[in-house]
Structure 1
Amino acid sequence: MTETASSAPAPVVHPPLPVPQALAYMGAAVMLALSQGLGQGFVSTNIPQIAGDLGITTAQASWLMAAYMIPRASLPLLLIKIRTQYGLRRFAEVGIIAYVAVAFASVWISDFRSAVVVQALSGAAAAPLSTLAFMYMLEPLSQEWKMRLGLPAAMTAMMAGPTLARVVSPALIGDGGLTWVHLTALGMAMVSLMLVFRLPLRPVPHMKVIQTLDFLSFLLIGFGFAGLTIGFVMGPIHYWTDAPWIGLLLAASAASLAVAVAVELNRSAPLLDIRWLVSPAMLHLTATLFLFRLILSEQSAGAPRMFQSLGVAPSQMTGLFAIIVGASLLGGLACVAWMRPNRVPVLHLVALLLIALGAFMDARATMDTRPEQLIVSQALIAFAGMLFLPPAMMAGLISALSRGPQYLLSFVIVFISTQSLGGVLGSGLFTTFINHRQAAHYATLTEQLATTDMPTAQAIAARAAGLAAQIPEAAARRVQAAAQIAQDASAQAYVMAYNDAYLLTALVALAAALALLLHLLRDRLALRMAPRPNPDTTP
């Protein structure tokens, strides 16, 4: 009797791999995760250098980041079904070949248009690598260790990639532009290609799961995700109200997602189970993941950009980012040691408190603050990040698999969307808040400088005296001194704005921790007040 397209294949139990081969598969997982993580980090970290190489503005170069992130947010919708229908091995081989081809093409980027096309293809080609990294990490592990070891290890490697790009980029760029950055990405892609073909994943049964309406739903959701990504990348740059097309694009994105929801609700076999996704448990998990991603924007969009506004070179920040990577690794090890399904709320509570503590410490920054002074606070936030994400993903996977394998796709979409879109939205909102607060603080400082009070006059006179050896004319010295003080006021306004953002992040984390604590107390009280079952007295 032949198996129908809708019947589920019987689970296949593979024997465990020998230890040397198991370590090889786990090493391949780390290489795949770092390849896609570094690829993303090289783009976000080197936007000014990319703009210089292509002869464009920084605002134009930001389109490259949007082009890279759009397919990363939407392609997982189809990738899981493609993998299920056409086979795991073919999926892995085609995906890694496409990634190497795009990495090779990126070496020959010569103008802005070709760069946008290549970055969009890079994001599309890198999307399967996240899935492959998880699969290679879980492949050699027993069922007991897949969640406890495989999940934290894969998440740690994937989360470390973008930060590691900030560590190695200054050494790769040097005086030779971005050539070595592209060659490094190409080299890692070729090593990943060799590992995928040398260490094939064990086959799993195929199923015919792709339907015609899946493509319509994918186009609608993909357009909605693309519009949100472009809007929140470009919104803070052009400022929201100064570019009417941003509002129109966001409105069109919302409409496209609404139509996608209407289509999915009326399908017998939907691409996404919308009714399950809007259940209280899944809404709580989605809100938790999204909120946490917004809070973590303090680390990705906070300290690096604050130091950039203070004139700190990227090479001076490599030590800070190396320690952040090390703290992330420690967080992953802590998950391996302590992560259990019944400990997820406690781990989340500890993570939120650590983030609040780190953000409070950052909120005392001044113009004299340098990377070395934020090592402890940023390490706490990085450690907390890895203490939060693997338990959250484990809870979601357990919830999805308890309802059946068909719910796995819906959960994976929720997780990837909250992380990809949440990162973009969080960075956009964080930057918008910084711009707003900087303008307010700068207006206050310039009002103080405009008055003819004695401290301002003395500061201008002191600066002018220091410029006597360079500028002989007294009037020109006073003008230059006043310009320097205004520049210092702008930098001071930025630092004050970042302090406001750090403080807001700490307060949000504390509020989330308080809400979680109240939720835990409510559950404990409900458990105590629940009527106990009568004891069985039957002899």
Structure 2
Amino acid sequence: MSDAATPAAAPGTPATTPSATPAPPAAPPPFVPKSLPMTLGYIGASLTIGMTQGLAQGFVSSNIPQIAGDLGATQTQTTWLMAAFLIPRASLPLMLIKIRTQFGLRRFAEVAIVLYLLVSLAALAISDLRSAIVVQFFAGAAAAPLSTLAFMYMLEPLPPAWKMRLGLPMVMAMLSAGPSLARVISPSLMGDLGWGPLHLMSLGLAAVSLALVYALPLTSLPRVKVIAAMDLVSWVLIAIGFGSLTAAFTMGATFWWTDTPWIGWVLALAAVALTGAVVIELHRKTPLLDIRWLASPAMVHLTVTLLIFRLVLSEQSSGAPRMFTILGVTQGQLVPLFAMITAATVLGGLALIPVIKPERVPVLHLIALVLFCTGAFMDSHSTIDTRPAQMMLSQALIAFSGTFYLAPAMMQGLVAALAKGPNYLLSFVVVFISTQSLGGAMGSGLFSTFINHRQALHLQVLREELTAADPETTAAIAARMAALAAQMPDIAARKAQAVALIAQDASNQAYVMAYNDAYLLTFLVAATALCALLLHIFRDWMAARRQPAVLPANPEPAK
């Protein structure tokens, strides 16, 4: 899920947050079972809305070269479309819980989907890169509430016992599968028509989602005024910080970190803005975020584990697709690979349904890390002749592990937040969004930076080996010249072309070696996390064994 989903409070739990004028939480409405057709209707609405959100991001990220051609821009310039989409999504969900609590869930749902429909209509008028960037920024902002709506519609018809067990894995799998599914259907949609059909499909999905939202209303809690003026100040600072980090890590590897001064200024702005937000929140009686709770050992541990796994998951979005593009594999040839990834992502969610429980989270994470390590280690043995068919199993293992890890982690965080009280839900939202949205952008940027650095190093070594005095190099040039003899009668031109082809092969080989280094690095990071988790489980087991047995308070006398 290069993309972050915003957790929503389960129906039956008031989603209130601290404010300057705290109000007592309203009593949750009793759960009313729905008929089977209505239940299926709400689940279908959740799948449709979630797919609308997932495809919106995937259509852009998977088609940057084609979109660049349509807009008459370079690929470097077109990368700004991805940054523009991600910047508002990194911070806007932080206010969504309060917005829907103060203005009502039904109005929230209707306004959110209408705004997305309007943005989808505006996308049809894109004529150049500048207008495309503006539309993508508003598309990211309009898509931010859709993941929340997908959660709410999935949880609405389910009885309390099945909300976490069935609803959470299904929604997480669906949202994670969206970008991969976009790569499956994009080649057929675009064809020779360019970006237009993608806009039309997004518009159609938005229209269907709008109809479903109006036809299937969500149960709303009584409205409570929870938004204070200082909430907006803190949120603006967080939005500046998160947006700056997203822009820097999305574009850093493209423009290169040390060659572009504005990247350093943007990172400095992020540090100042986030520091200001923390200082304000620490000195408020009713803060937007409970910084002290977020800094507790349990929450720091959860944040670190979520961030590490999100970083290593960038191997799937920034690894294999880009490596195959360098090797000359077309988007159409990648369709079977991403169909397998999509199926494995969904299967990861389905596999959780019979087994997911809060006390089993460490074991589920253990399984996910083993599967990820296996897939990453298999990928690290790629060669210049590797093709998508040879990476289907490894990429399927990684996709399966992604859902198998993130859904239990999200359940663990929601349970911890709600155990402290519904007021802590928004603080957990910050943790989840910052690790998933920012972690995705950071992971992609760091992965690309590592690839570029290692490719330059490997290419330098290969060039030193490809000398005219080397017999193997001379033989390779002669073989290439012989193959080109029928096309190029001029010997000098033929030799120059042969040397250019060998240099291109060396560049491709250097890239494959760099990707192997990156795959191995992600394997080592995941293996380290696996060892740490094993030690943590062993420590808890030892602590449980040493715990003295608890005697009953009033033991019965022996008879």
Q: Same fold (TM over 0.5)?
A: yes
Match of residue 169 from structure 1 = 186
2:316·2:398 contact (CA, 8 Å) conserved in 1? yes
Once the two structures are TM-superposed, the CA of residue 533 in structure 1 deviates from its matched residue by 3.0
Q: Supply the distance in 2 between the matched residues of 1:531 and 1:152 (Cα, whole angstroms).
A: 37
* Structure 1 counterpart SS, 2:342: helix
Q: Supply the distance in 2 between the matched residues of 1:504 and 1:519 (Cα, whole angstroms).
A: 23
Q: Supply the distance in 2 between the matched residues of 1:415 and 1:226 (Cα, whole angstroms).
A: 16
Match of residue 470 from structure 1 = 487
Alignment match of 1:335 (pick from 352, 371, 381): 352
* Structure 2 counterpart SS, 1:12: coil
Q: Supply the distance in 1 between the matched residues of 2:430 and 2:522 (Cα, whole angstroms).
A: 26
Q: Supply the distance in 1 between the matched residues of 2:63 and 2:34 (Cα, whole angstroms).
A: 41
2:278·2:291 contact (CA, 8 Å) conserved in 1? yes
Please give the residue correspondences for 1:258-337 in structure 2 after superposition, counting only pairs within 5 Å. Answer: 258-337=275-354
1:96 maps onto 2:94 in alignment: no
Q: Supply the distance in 2 between the matched residues of 1:287 and 1:126 (Cα, whole angstroms).
A: 27
Please give the residue correspondences for 1:236-255 in structure 2 after superposition, counting only pairs within 5 Å. Answer: 236-255=253-272
Q: Supply the distance in 2 between the matched residues of 1:409 and 1:5 (Cα, whole angstroms).
A: 15
Alignment match of 2:511 (pick from 487, 494, 500): 494
Alignment match of 2:217 (pick from 176, 187, 200): 200
Match of residue 8 from structure 2 = none
1:512 maps onto 2:529 in alignment: yes
Match of residue 190 from structure 1 = 207
Relative contact order higher in (CA < 8 Å, ≥ 6 apart): 2
Corresponding letter in the other structure for 1:519: H
Q: Supply the distance in 2 between the matched residues of 1:126 and 1:254 (Cα, whole angstroms).
A: 26
1:159 maps onto 2:180 in alignment: no
Match of residue 527 from structure 1 = 544
Please give the residue correspondences for 1:72-151 in structure 2 after superposition, counting only pairs within 5 Å. Answer: 72-151=89-168
Once the two structures are TM-superposed, the CA of residue 453 in structure 1 deviates from its matched residue by 1.1
Once the two structures are TM-superposed, the CA of residue 451 in structure 1 deviates from its matched residue by 4.5
Task: Say if 1:26 and 1:485 are closer, same or farther in 2 by CA, change over 3 A.
Answer: same
Q: Supply the distance in 1 between the matched residues of 2:532 and 2:118 (Cα, whole angstroms).
A: 48
Q: Supply the distance in 2 between the matched residues of 1:466 and 1:334 (Cα, whole angstroms).
A: 53
Alignment match of 2:421 (pick from 379, 404, 417): 404
Scaled by the length of structure 2, what TM-score is found? 0.95
2:240·2:273 contact (CA, 8 Å) conserved in 1? yes
Alignment match of 1:23 (pick from 36, 40, 53): 40
Unpaired segments ≥5 residues, structure 2: 1-20
Alignment match of 2:65 (pick from 34, 48, 55): 48
Please give the residue correspondences for 1:363-378 in structure 2 after superposition, counting only pairs within 5 Å. Answer: 363-378=380-395
* Structure 1 counterpart SS, 2:169: helix
Identify the range of structure 1 (409-418 vs 364-373) with the bigger mean alpha-carbon deviation: 409-418
Alignment match of 1:38 (pick from 43, 55, 63): 55
Alignment match of 2:376 (pick from 350, 359, 376): 359
Q: Supply the distance in 2 between the matched residues of 1:204 and 1:8 (Cα, whole angstroms).
A: 10
* Structure 1 counterpart SS, 2:475: helix
Identify the range of structure 1 (283-292 vs 411-420) with the bigger mean alpha-carbon deviation: 411-420
Match of residue 426 from structure 1 = 443
**What is the CA deviation profile of residues 199-256 of structure 1, one whole-angstrom value per residue up to 9, with x for unaligned ones?**
1112211111000011111110000011101100110001100111101110110111
Once the two structures are TM-superposed, the CA of residue 10 in structure 1 deviates from its matched residue by 1.1
* Structure 2 counterpart SS, 1:184: helix
Q: Supply the distance in 2 between the matched residues of 1:324 and 1:215 (Cα, whole angstroms).
A: 40
* Structure 1 counterpart SS, 2:353: helix
**What is the CA deviation profile of residues 130-174 of structure 1, one whole-angstrom value per residue up to 9, with x for unaligned ones?**
000000000000000000000011111111100000000000110
Corresponding letter in the other structure for 2:204: G
- Over aligned residue pairs, what C-alpha RMSD do you find? 1.0
**What is the CA deviation profile of residues 11-68 of structure 1, one whole-angstrom value per residue up to 9, with x for unaligned ones?**
1113111111010000000000000000000011111111111111111111111110
1:455 maps onto 2:476 in alignment: no
Once the two structures are TM-superposed, the CA of residue 531 in structure 1 deviates from its matched residue by 2.5
Once the two structures are TM-superposed, the CA of residue 530 in structure 1 deviates from its matched residue by 2.1
**What is the CA deviation profile of residues 348-374 of structure 1, one whole-angstrom value per residue up to 9, with x for unaligned ones?**
011001100001101111111000000
Match of residue 12 from structure 2 = none
Please give the residue correspondences for 1:50-65 in structure 2 after superposition, counting only pairs within 5 Å. Answer: 50-65=67-82
* Structure 2 counterpart SS, 1:338: coil
**What is the CA deviation profile of residues 467-505 of structure 1, one whole-angstrom value per residue up to 9, with x for unaligned ones?**
111111111111110000000000000000000001111
Q: Supply the distance in 2 between the matched residues of 1:228 and 1:246 (Cα, whole angstroms).
A: 9
Corresponding letter in the other structure for 1:244: P
Once the two structures are TM-superposed, the CA of residue 98 in structure 1 deviates from its matched residue by 0.1
1:480 maps onto 2:497 in alignment: yes
Alignment match of 2:246 (pick from 210, 229, 233): 229
Q: Supply the distance in 1 between the matched residues of 2:198 and 2:467 (Cα, whole angstroms).
A: 46
**What is the CA deviation profile of residues 89-146 of structure 1, one whole-angstrom value per residue up to 9, with x for unaligned ones?**
0000000000000001101100111111100000000000000000000000000000
Q: Supply the distance in 1 between the matched residues of 2:430 and 2:287 (Cα, whole angstroms).
A: 13
Q: Supply the distance in 2 between the matched residues of 1:5 and 1:281 (Cα, whole angstroms).
A: 27
Percent pairwise identity: 61
